[in-house]
Amino acid sequence: MIRLAPLDHKLLRDLRRMWLQIVAVGTVLGCGIALFVMATGTYGSIQRSRDQYYAAERMADLAASVVRAPESVGAQLAALPGVDAVETRVSGIALVDLPGVSEPVSARVVSLPRGREARVNDIVLHTGRLPAPERDNEIVVNEAFAERNGLGPGDTLAAVLYGRRRTLEIVGVASSPEFVFAVAPGEITPEPQRFGVFWMGREGLARAYDLDGAFNDVAIRQARDAKPRELVAAVDRLLARHGGRGAYGRDRMISAQFLEDELRSLQTMASVLPPVFLAVAVFLVNVSLSRLIATERSNIGLLKSFGYSNLAVAAHYAKFSLAFAALGTVLGVAVGQVGGDYMASIYRSVYRLPDLQFDAGPLVYAGAIGVGIAAAVLGSARAVRRAIRLPPAAALAPPAPTRFGGLGERVERAARSLDAKSRMIVRRIVRFPRRSLSTVAGIAAAIALLVTSQHFPVAMNHIVDVNFGAAQRMDVTLAFADVHDASILRDVRRLPGVLAVEPMRSAPVILSAGTRSQRDSLLGIPAGARLNRVLDGEERPVPPRADGLTIARVLARKLDVQVGDRVRVQATDGRRRSLEIPVVAIVDPFVGAPAYLELDTLNRLLQEPERVTAAYLLVDARAREAFSREVKRLPAIAGVTYADNAENTLRRLFNEGSGFFAALFVVFSSMMAAGVAFSAARVTLAEQERDLATLRVLGFRRREASYVLLGEIGALLLAAIPLGIVLGYLLTRWLMSQFATELFSFPHVLSPAAYGQSVAFVAVAVVVAALFVRRGVDRLDMVGVLKSRD
């Protein structure tokens, strides 16, 4: 049996006595560590999984599409300096008719090389086999699409490829680094039920698209020593005469970009939130230990008088803080692990990364333990130092009464206008400003975190509400396979149930100003657009203008342009016009709308009149079935999106990912509020025990004595509320700006309900904790307290 040293016996007994305090502090510390483990671990897991996947399957660094380039251009591309590998491909959009599914489904069809693995953007076959090169009706489909639609090898489906309807047989299910996040063209959310990726033998697909001996899509892996900007320019030069639409890097590949944005949010989360919790935990450890050491004064004197060294005394009290650290770390790592597993499962369902498992790795766990110990050491340093510094004689003598003189004339004047009990409260708060402030700061931090955490769902719902309520008011979006003559709109109008049609054109361009340039889409929106409106940050419609460009602030910043500056617009498609257009307005659009102007003006400037790439429709709900049936027959259509489906998908996406996180965040913040409140109340009671007992002995009733205890906490709570609101506002604004991506700018919606609920919740937590502790007033041992020295 292990024989414990006497001091360790004392330690264990004291810990048992303080267990509630330890749980309170350990929980707050645990929340911080759990967030740290979860966010950092998830970030690391996804990043690792992505990088391995990209490397193993040779994810493209650059991609470009062309109208038609002869296969020989592929060899020229491969010979460019800085190119490691090139895969020329045939790629297109197909409209799919799934048995039993009335709504149109679309798919990106991509060719696979004959008789070898793809040099770039290879696929991982999960089941079945690759299509036979000579068979032009065999396809491999992506995993998400197969899962959602219950498809597998042996199933058939009908698809319109390049205007020709054909029956395709699924021979395999696969995934690819290129489509980790498979989104239909023009959409912002993955809808695997309605959008798939089909891989087909190169010859068969080339025949279907009339691209025998040619390609319309190229994926390039660059060499380690490549100079990306120069490479892009070289690729563009080579492809220009074949109708090249401009090469772009991973930052414009939608799947890679989504994943990158997600990783950045996780990184923000991991770097911002845990420190707040840890700071509060440090403060709580400090408060708890300071109090303990104050009550242990005579014990410290005794130990020292017996000959215990300063080191032994310091070690004894440091062990207390390690108890907080141990509980916090164990709790944090366990919760972080469970939360991380869950987050990984969510990410697996959204991002198709094979082998994505939550694995925080030894560094994160070591970090968690380190953070826990550091929090405990930081929190206890001052208190332990005080214990060491106490000379034995001084420790054994009763402490002099706390000095309350000289608190300042203004405080005294205010105090004198109050009754004696309130005066006690005011003087204590002012006398111990650091402690009062840290309690206020702790409570305020809890309010701020709650406000922020509640803001996530508010912001997300707001994005969806505004996007689908005020900005995008169409029922259906039709994406055309290519730039199309406006005459197509006549066919669209004839579809059953169509009530209104609004055209749109999206032109791939390179926008440049000075030395800065940006590849983006320039949108042409009709004057008086009603179905697809661009809204600014205040949700006011910003109609397109004929006299110049309206551009998003993010883009304006990238190009470093202001209203009145001229932007060079180089079309990378069609007639490839190069123009200079003035910027006439800069807006903060709600959901990605980089640059736009009036549709006819755009077409005129590009010298391509009457062109459209998409149409927005109002469709009579009663005719939806018939509409769905008929629209599939239009060969020009590459994608059909129902707004209600998109809205539901977006909401689900938000709820599953960020929603889970927000809920967790609310729970953690609430626990923190309760922990701070409990500790503050407990310490106040401990410090006031003698005064409260004196009041009781003097004949004050329980509620009168309780007033002194609750009054102090109440006053600090009242001070913390406005501070918490302001902090919450600032933190939310800052965090929203940190989470903003190219595709979404998170709005800062001032939600009185979120503030009200946060304040109410924290206030209730504080009051409950204070009332819980207040029971101590009922149990005060008047005799014991008063007969002992301070």
Partner 1 sequence: MSLPAAAARGSVRVFHLAGVEKVYGSGEAAVHALRGLDFDVMAGELLVLLGPSGSGKSTLLNILGGLDRPTAGRALFRDLDLGAADDAAITDYRRHHVGFVFQFYNLIASLTAEENVELVTEVADDPMPAAEALGLVGLGQRRGHFPSQLSGGEQQRVAIARAIAKRPTVLLCDEPTGALDVATGVRVLESLVDVNTRLGTTTLLITHNADIARIGDRVVRFADGRIRSIESNARRVAPRELHW
Point out which residues bind partner 1 (CB under 8 A): 398, 400-405, 419-421, 423-424, 427-428, 431, 690-691, 693-702, 704, 782-783, 786-790
Q: How far is the CB of 690 from partner 1 (least distance, A)?
A: 7
Residue 294: CB minimum distance to partner 1, A = 13
Least CB distance to partner 1 at residue 299 (A): 18
**Residue nearer to partner 1 on the CB measure, 620 or 781:** 781
Query: 619: closest CA among 738, 502, 727, 766?
Result: 502
Q: How far is the CB of 788 from partner 1 (least distance, A)?
A: 7
| CB 396 to partner 1: min, Å | 14
Nearer to partner 1, 368 or 693 (CB): 693
Give rounded-to-5 percent helix, strand, coil for the chain. 55, 20, 25
Q: In angstroms, what is the minimal distance from the CB of 421 to partner 1?
A: 8
Grouping H, G, I as helix, E, B as strand and the rest as coil, residue 604 is helix
Q: Measure the N-to-C terminal CA separation of the chain; round to a whole number of Å.
A: 39
Return the closest-CA partner of residue 673 out of 443, 454, 455, 448.
Answer: 443
Question: Can you read off the two tokens belonging to residue 622?
Answer: 């009663």
Q: Dihedral sign, CA of 325, 329, 335, 336?
A: positive
Tokens 């690792």: give the residue.
48
Of 323, 336, 317, nearest to 277 (Cα)? 336
CB of 680 to partner 1, least distance (A): 18
HSE, side-chain direction, 13 A CA sphere, residue 85: 14
**Residue 485 or 781 with smaller CB distance to partner 1:** 781
Would you say 431 or 652 has its CB closer to partner 1?
Answer: 431
What is the secondary structure of 21-84 as a DSSP string?
Answer: HHHHHHHHHHHHHHHHHHHHHHHHHHHHHHHHHHHHTT--SEEEEEEEEETHHHHHHHTSTTEE
DSSP state, residue 486: T
Residue 546, token pair as written in the block: 């004929």
Least CB distance to partner 1 at residue 399 (A): 10
Q: For residue 161, give both structure tokens.
A: 């490829």
Give the number of residues written for the chain.
Answer: 790
Q: How far is the CB of 266 from partner 1 (least distance, A)?
A: 49
Q: Please list the alpha-helical segments (H only) found in 129-218.
A: 143-149, 202-208
Show the 3-state SS of 257-279: HHHHHHHHHHHHHHHHHHHHHHH
Q: Write down the least CB distance from residue 732 to partner 1, Å.
A: 38
Residue 406 or 564 having the CB closest to partner 1: 406
Residue with smaller CB distance to partner 1, 100 or 406: 406
Using the minimum distance from each CB to partner 1, give the nearer residue, 19 or 404.
404
- Using the minimum distance from each CB to partner 1, give the nearer residue, 1 or 420: 420
Residue 134, SS3? Answer: coil
What order do you get walking across the sheet with 83-89 strand by strand? 83-89, 214-222, 62-70, 248-249
Cβ closer to partner 1: 104 or 301? 301
Minimum distance from residue 685 beta carbon to partner 1 (Å): 15
Query: Residue for token digits 């996947």?
Result: 53
| Alpha helices, DSSP H, located in 296-408 | 297-305, 310-350, 361-389, 392-396
Pick the closer one to partner 1 by CB: 412 or 465. Answer: 412
Question: Least separation, in Å, of the C-beta of 362 and partner 1?
Answer: 52
> C-alpha 325: how far from its chain's center?
28
Min CB(290)–partner 1 separation in Å: 17
CB nearer to partner 1: pick between 430 and 767: 430
Indicate the burial class of 398 (C-beta count within 10 angstroms; 0-12, 13-18, 19 or more). Answer: exposed
Answer whether 203's CB lies under 8 Å from 114's CB: yes
Query: Measured from the CB atom, is 114 or 423 closer to partner 1?
Result: 423
3-state secondary structure of 309: coil
Residue 147 CB neighbour total at 10 angstroms:
16
The enclosing H or E element of 758 equals helix 752-778
Nearer to partner 1, 399 or 528 (CB): 399
